[in-house]
Structure 1
Amino acid sequence: MRKTFSKMSFQVILSFFSKLYRELFIKLNYLFSIQILKFHTLKLTRIDSNLKKYHLLYYLSIIVFYSCSTIEKDTPIKTTLTNNWQFKGVDTLDWKSASVPGNIFTDLLDHKIIEDPFIKNNEEKVQWVSGKNWEYKTTFQLSDKILKKNNIALNFEGLDTYASIYLNDSLLGQTNNAFRKFNFNIKKIAKKENQLRVIFTNTASKEEIAAHKNPYKLPEGERIFTRKAQFQYGWDWGPKLNTSGIWKDIYINAWDDLKFENIFIKQKELNKEKATLSVEITIESATDKNVNLFTKINREVISSNLTLKKGKHTYKVPIEIINPTLWWTHNLGDPYLYHFNFQLIADGKIKDEKSIKKGLRIIKLITEKDTIGESFYFELNGKPVYAKGANYIPQNSFQNKVNDNHYEKLLSDVVNSNMNMLRVWGGGIYENDVFYDLCDEKGILIWQDFMFACAMYPGDIAFLENVKEEAKQQVKRLQNHASIALWCGNNENLEGWKRWGWQANRKEKEKQEIWNDYLIVFDTILPNIVAKFSETDYWESSPKYGRGNPKYEFEGDAHDWWVWHDATPFEHFEEKVPRFMSEFGFQSFPSFETLKYINQSDAIDLKTDGIKSHQKHIRGFQLINEYMTRDYNVPTNDEDYAYVSQLLQAKGIVMGIEAHRRAKPTNMGTLYWQLNDCWPAISWSSIDYFGNWKALQYKTKNAFENVLISSKIENNAVKTFVINDTFENITGTLKLKIIDFYGKEIWSDAKEIEVLGNSSKQYYNFSLNEINKNTTVLVAEFNNEKSYFYFAKPKDLNLPKDEILKSITKTDKGFFITLESTVLQKDLFLFTNDKGHFSDNFFDLLPNERKIIEFETNANSLDNLQFKTLNTIE
């Protein structure tokens, strides 16, 4: 009894002093309203002289306040509604279980009502799904605690797309945009037991009505009337799978009198000495009220007193950080993030709290007139940064199949491939929060398109208001992300209008009205929203000029599709180098795993109906073969053909990347099309649907190194450049040698050089007059960086044949594979049936040199490891 009494007494005393200190703390805050503090160096940067006498007592109160674990939380209650869902066709099927978040295709697949559209040619068999109306329902309970709250909101993070929402048989409202959140006040109709129904109307029926009302036919098709992922209507790399359903979370949010609506951490001034921030905090309050705001930055605390007004208002809280740590891309420094935690305290209780990770950096798009046109490059923290990366599309036609592990793997692949920028393409989706969080953490810049692609869009008031709200929500959602480098209005809409024949056979009045509607969205609404709700630059349309306009080479960003679409040879990339290449690409077949999956067969067969249905470009197979015939010996069997197609793709794109980088600083960015796939496909991707690296991904990893040795042939002479993307000068020995394919040295030289930071320069030049181009290779080396340069096309190389010696050693993560050969083995490709990742692949194995490859896998053996090289392709 004595121990129990002592424990109870201690709790009573602790509770008493906690309450006392809380009251004291609140009173002190009213007296001691600190506006700017810096705790990074544990120094107070500004204190009113009249308040200095409270300094010690104030900090003592903070320590006591944060050490007391009894402070109450009265924060909003969030209840996610993802369970007990069912679905059915409005006029067919019985009720069946559904997954939320999800979509109608995956629900039908789960119940084996449809065949998997990702295999064989099943895509055409499921088109009926998009033409039907579907209904989803669930029941849920609300606790007395929630029902007693003054405010109860039902929040939909994403409905795809035209939905009518009923709660307890009352119509809450209707939705018309898959990219918007929709919130409904349900305080008056919420009960302990509730039924929620969501009825989806097919897009075609809505689009037909909108098209009929529009005064003229717009390019490209009726998808333009529906605000959802445009690629779902079919693209030249993806299927036509127009989804419907609850594709993001649904939740109840219940609260009483106070809550955060939004927090925007704005940078007023940023340099090495000081970061001056203005935190714009939007708070919704039921009454006029005095509150405390605690801002914890990493481990330090700032307190502010706010006088709230009833309603929704924005309050500015200044913060100063001395000697801030700046955020950099991973290839140039540390992507450092400050951890901000905000607590809203009133009546001695925490009313709401929010955490934000924020990187402090200044990112600008620099477009300035110069002697050849106009620059286009990104400046990070005052330094020009060369952008290296790719265009990104949704990772799956069915977004609910993409989980956090997929994001982690793909974005880790981006970092491991030396990329520092991705362009989120405008025909897909605004990505999930985890995507941008990981880009912040990993130091990857994001060029973010608004979701408009390859079309002209309507300009009626309802559509414009819908777009305006969509843009406002998305920009505010992403406004604190350090990774966001640019907001771009659309993908190729301007190019299409100027060059693709969309103006043909239209009267001048009609053309002017369509163009005015374009300007309202992309020259007024979107840039105004970006300016108001972010600190990010805006670019109207990508590209600025199409390849039919001579200015595309000298101003803005470029999409260069002379290669591929116009069948222009790869050498074009070396002749026409724009200021910033935001799109260029070439197709290849995917991995053997993916080809087998499409056909549902262990054999590699490229002539099946399934393979044909997974090639969405009308001339795709023809163009691959045409280019292959130019540069390679065309294989006679399908397995070798798929392998060489990947080498072909990599050859062309790497030629472009190196040409762009050699032209630095005239050119300051190269983003190829495309990084990934949304389904198993023959496409422009460098990483296929199952996450396998194609030859392009391995070879761009080398081409994107910060320090690159790159050579080209001009007037029968070889010119060798060294490119340095770091900001430091680098000195060392540039070593060059020419060897034959048996390892015999034909010629060599070396010279001491200094490579300036952030530069590209030619450092060597020699004639090819005395060189046998078909039997030799140039090996260049600088500070442990190597490059191999061939003087002839692959099909003209006289490659010898010999055995590849291998030894395999088991490791904790997989296997080490040691390889040797007495002759040069060109484009050595390792493959196995076991799932895993090779540290290097599609590489050249020099004569009599040993190379060790790591294969990360869960497999216990590698008995089925196989090789392919160009040496053995007939």
Structure 2
Amino acid sequence: MSRQALHEGWVLRAVPGPQVPAEVAGRAVPATVPGCVHTDLLAAGLIPDPYLDDNEHAVAWIGRTDWVYETTFRHEPGDEDRVELVCAGLDTMATVSVNGVEVGRTENMHRGYRFDVRSLLRAGDNTLAVRFDSAYRYAEAHRDRLGDRPNAYPEPFGFIRKMACNFGWDWGPTLVTAGIWQPIGLHAWSTARLAHVRPLVTLDGADGRVELHVEVERAGDAPLTVRAAVAGASGEVTIPPGERDAVLTLTVREPARWWPRGYGEPARHLLDVTLSTPDGGTLDVWSRRIGFRSVRLDTAPDAHGSAFTLHVNDVPVVVRGVNWIPDDVFPTRVTRARLAERLTQAAEANVNLLRVWGGGRYESDDFYDLADEWGLLVQQDFLFACAAYPEEEPFRGEVEAEAREQVTRLAAHPSLVLWTGNNENIWGWHDWGWQEPLAGRTWGHGYYFDLLPRVVADLDPTRPYWPGSPWSGSEDVHPNDPAHGTTHIWDVWNTDDYARYRAYTPRFVAEFGYQAPPAYATLRRALSDDPLAHDSPGMAHHQKAADGDAKLRRGLDAHLPAPRDFDDWHWLTQLNQARAIRLGVEHFRSLRPICMGTIVWQLNDCWPVTSWSAVDGDGRRKPLWYALRRAYADRLLTVQPRDGGLVVVAVNDGGTAWRASASVARLTLAGEPRAKTSVDLDVPAYASVELELPPELARPDEARRELLVAEAGDTAERALWFFAEDRDVEWPAAELDATVAPVDGGQRVRVTAGTVLRDLTLFPDRLDPAATVDEALVTLLPGESATFTVSADAPLDPAALTSRPVLRCVNDLPPAGR
């Protein structure tokens, strides 16, 4: 058996057409494989960077052009029974030819393909060509054939099995790609090979159980032997002549279990599988690290509706999640190192679950391997989002083939704990005016309630399946009913103030989010606007949400002083995003055990854009990231309104009891006490305690001049409650003393408050795009101090580092009347 990568010597040509620019027409462009047309043209200097300014429009012609990739490779024929061309991923409408002979056609970005080419290969040089027809032309032809179907955007992404967000989203550009986006090469083998290896890993009491399903492809009828070993257990099974399938069960006595973050160590064990001939000759091998754990989903009815509680190893897990979108429009730019950085950012924000959203892709092996290693749970959507999808051929067959391939591919990963049928399509059918224009045509119901659950039940019954996000658990209940199953809350962003989150008592919030622009350094890299303004041309182009700028302003008007300039607007919109999500997360966590999970929209971005992300398109952390880290901490102290009063809720998602002396004080903005109480806090592991506050604490004498401070143990667990909105609070003009001292790798900024300082935040990227800071959104009472560690390649100017617009707080803006 041998493998030969075919990644060298490629060139790219545009098929002639009136839309092809003169500088590209007829030109052979060096191509990188794996890669795509956009990145090849960009590397050749033939197109502007699509992520900058409004260059997205200048490259729109690429998606409506046909392209041909060609290379020449050397081959020396051997005595193998088969030589196959293996294409792990072709995007999307591909015709593959070897030495001028067509060997196959593809219609699905989310599948791999193998073509027998042994008879076509010759000794010496051989040619390989892959023609990609326009995804637009294919999708529009099927739309015209089957009849249009409603979706969230005026693009035909529902009529092609391709990454939907290539066609634009309310956070992403319209950049319709084509190319060899996964590895390609020759695989030569004899007798038989391992076609599929699917380990179903469960627990049987204290023991681990691996039910290993093996499928072979044969080039002959000899008997075959499959051997497997994991964690000291081993076994073998014979596949008789003519047969292709085998099942081998291994039992591991009391293995170390795989646990999600916060619940234990994510122990993994190496599983080795070998395919052999009767005389012991090795034909093929397969190896993965697996984890022993059980998963179940509790959706039982109760007094509050019906639950949605994920259990891992029979322990209920409170999900602290984020939604994940493709980290780049061009997938081959997302390396393992970049994924490691992004998942580290998730883990350091105390996230324990990533939901891979259904408008993107099934992620790379690196993504799931890193999640396995770090104990991050993964919820995986099947790839359907915000549209009515046709169920006619060729789509039904492609969907089933894609689902079978991906369920099999991902079965070994302990991090994957839930399959979801789609994103918002069931909700869309109910509420978005789809039923009349569909006029009885298919829209995906058969996928979500029949085909996909059958595939999961057949190939991976160890994991639960849920038809959609959101989904209530029954077709007799509205799909987005907060009392049942999962819910998406988007009225807050679209129409209502973020305080409305407190009107909900949901069982599990799978999407909710609030927008803000990216970091200042990200904007300056991506936009040439001079000056920058919230509505300058580049800012407007990089705001894809409907009425997004107006919604940002509505949110500011409800809570914060009016911005005087762009610097204020940028700071306050980022602050408002952080405030909104922190309020929602803390409210939902305070409802434990009724609400057993939140998945914030969204962790990441795919390009520089104003969006709902916590980490922007250049990988910089927005203030939301710091707020999320605090709101998702194992120990959370939060003040919540209840029944006309106030309560303090202590949430403990740690594995040991939380015992501390807690105090609650009502103070003036000058720090003078008006009322105070204390209590001994005793919160069991994985539980919460609610303490009602007496009226003298819950009711201020002067709402605009007072706040509530709750502390448990030390100021690391501190909760604040302000009785008035920032725009109405009588903030004193900010007074502070700031000192800057050098430390290894950067500088330490120590700020001592002369007055109350609300949400003190440093933005060192304004001085050095590579600079970062370890903390943000710190509120100090008079006399208190905070230390910020700034990491930078070179020392930053201390005066600039400690003044506007780098050092900000709410009360450096004048409220109305000051």
TM score, norm. by length of structure 2: 0.92
Cα distance in 1, alignment partners of residues 671 and 519 from structure 2:
32
Alignment CA distance shift 1:322-1:96 (3 Å): same
Aligned 1:681-760 pairs, distance under 5 A: 681-714=609-642, 717-760=645-688
Q: How many residues align?
A: 786
1:175 aligns with 2:106: yes
Match for 1:261 among 195, 201, 214? 195
Match of residue 810 from structure 1: 742
Q: CA deviation at 1:731?
A: 2.4
Match for 2:58 among 119, 125, 128? 125
Cα distance in 1, alignment partners of residues 492 and 479 from structure 2:
16
Match for 1:435 among 353, 364, 367? 367
Q: CA deviation at 1:777?
A: 2.7
Q: Secondary structure at the match of 1:828?
A: strand
Tell me how large the CA RMSD over aligned residues is.
2.2
Match of residue 339 from structure 1: 270
Q: Which moved more, 1:302-311 or 1:160-169?
A: 302-311
1:776 aligns with 2:706: yes
1:79 aligns with 2:4: yes
Match of residue 21 from structure 2: none
Cα distance in 1, alignment partners of residues 84 and 713 from structure 2:
61
Q: Secondary structure at the match of 1:504?
A: helix
Q: CA deviation at 1:848?
A: 1.8
User: 1:780 corresponds to which letter in structure 2?
Assistant: A
1:596 aligns with 2:530: no
1:142 aligns with 2:75: yes
Match for 2:454 among 512, 523, 528? 528
Q: Secondary structure at the match of 2:194?
A: strand
Cα distance in 1, alignment partners of residues 330 and 389 from structure 2:
25
Match of residue 48 from structure 2: 115
Tell me if the contact between 1:554 and 1:579 (Cα under 8 Å) persists in the aligned partners. yes
Q: Secondary structure at the match of 2:359?
A: coil
Give the % identical residues.
30
Alignment CA distance shift 1:786-1:218 (3 Å): closer
Match of residue 477 from structure 1: 409
Match of residue 253 from structure 2: 322
User: 2:177 corresponds to which letter in structure 1?
Assistant: T
Match of residue 238 from structure 1: 172
User: 2:784 corresponds to which letter in structure 1?
Assistant: E
User: 1:115 corresponds to which letter in structure 2?
Assistant: P
**Residue by residue, what CA displacement relative to the aligned partner does 1:266-289 show, whole Å, maximum 9, x if unpaired?**
235433x32232222333344455
Q: CA deviation at 1:460?
A: 1.6
User: 2:610 corresponds to which letter in structure 1?
Assistant: I
Aligned 1:481-630 pairs, distance under 5 A: 481-504=413-436, 510-511=439-440, 513-514=441-442, 518-534=444-460, 535-544=462-471, 549=478, 552-565=481-494, 567-600=495-528, 604-630=532-558
Cα distance in 2, alignment partners of residues 775 and 734 from structure 1:
24
Q: Secondary structure at the match of 2:405?
A: helix
Cα distance in 1, alignment partners of residues 522 and 198 from structure 2:
44
User: 1:848 corresponds to which letter in structure 2?
Assistant: G
Cα distance in 2, alignment partners of residues 714 and 416 from structure 1:
31
Q: Which moved more, 1:790-799 or 1:620-629?
A: 790-799
**Residue by residue, what CA displacement relative to the aligned partner does 1:307-360 show, whole Å, maximum 9, x if unpaired?**
233456222222222222111111221111112223344434433222211111
Tell me if the contact between 1:229 and 1:427 (Cα under 8 Å) persists in the aligned partners. yes
Alignment CA distance shift 1:407-1:312 (3 Å): farther
Tell me if the contact between 2:229 and 2:235 (Cα under 8 Å) persists in the aligned partners. no
Tell me if the contact between 1:592 and 1:604 (Cα under 8 Å) persists in the aligned partners. no
Alignment CA distance shift 1:176-1:505 (3 Å): closer
Match of residue 153 from structure 1: 84
Match for 2:213 among 280, 293, 316? 280
Q: Which moved more, 1:531-540 or 1:757-766?
A: 757-766
Tell me if the contact between 2:665 and 2:673 (Cα under 8 Å) persists in the aligned partners. yes
1:367 aligns with 2:299: yes
Q: CA deviation at 1:818?
A: 2.3
Q: CA deviation at 1:764?
A: 3.4
Match for 2:15 among 87, 90, 100? 90
Alignment CA distance shift 1:549-1:521 (3 Å): closer
Cα distance in 2, alignment partners of residues 306 and 375 from structure 1:
42
Match of residue 606 from structure 2: 678
Cα distance in 2, alignment partners of residues 782 and 195 from structure 1:
70
Cα distance in 2, alignment partners of residues 814 and 310 from structure 1:
67
Q: Secondary structure at the match of 2:582?
A: helix
Q: Secondary structure at the match of 2:168?
A: coil
Tell me if the contact between 2:223 and 2:241 (Cα under 8 Å) persists in the aligned partners. no
TM score, norm. by length of structure 1: 0.86
Aligned 1:628-667 pairs, distance under 5 A: 628-667=556-595
Bigger radius of gyration among the two: 1
Cα distance in 2, alignment partners of residues 134 and 163 from structure 1:
9
Match for 1:795 among 727, 740, 749? 727
Cα distance in 1, alignment partners of residues 604 and 148 from structure 2:
36
Q: CA deviation at 1:215?
A: 4.9
Match of residue 20 from structure 2: none
**Residue by residue, what CA displacement relative to the aligned partner does 1:590-630 show, whole Å, maximum 9, x if unpaired?**
11012212323686433321111111112100011011101
Cα distance in 1, alignment partners of residues 171 and 12 from structure 2:
30
Tell me if the contact between 2:480 and 2:488 (Cα under 8 Å) persists in the aligned partners. no
Tell me if the contact between 1:375 and 1:556 (Cα under 8 Å) persists in the aligned partners. yes
Q: CA deviation at 1:775?
A: 2.5
Q: Unaligned stretches of 5+ in structure 2?
A: 17-24
Tell me if the contact between 1:733 and 1:751 (Cα under 8 Å) persists in the aligned partners. yes
Match of residue 759 from structure 2: 827
User: 1:267 corresponds to which letter in structure 2?
Assistant: V
Tell me if the contact between 1:488 and 1:539 (Cα under 8 Å) persists in the aligned partners. yes
Cα distance in 2, alignment partners of residues 714 and 292 from structure 1:
66
Q: By percentage of residues, which structure has more helix?
A: 1
Q: CA deviation at 1:571?
A: 1.9
Q: CA deviation at 1:714?
A: 4.1
Alignment CA distance shift 1:401-1:438 (3 Å): same
Alignment CA distance shift 1:718-1:304 (3 Å): closer
**Residue by residue, what CA displacement relative to the aligned partner does 1:70-114 show, whole Å, maximum 9, x if unpaired?**
xxxxxx322211111100111133111011111111111112221
Q: CA deviation at 1:178?
A: 0.5
1:849 aligns with 2:784: yes
Alignment CA distance shift 1:183-1:825 (3 Å): same
Match for 1:419 among 345, 348, 351? 351
**Residue by residue, what CA displacement relative to the aligned partner does 1:464-483 show, whole Å, maximum 9, x if unpaired?**
11111011111111011111
Tell me if the contact between 2:163 and 2:359 (Cα under 8 Å) persists in the aligned partners. yes
Cα distance in 2, alignment partners of residues 400 and 305 from structure 1:
38
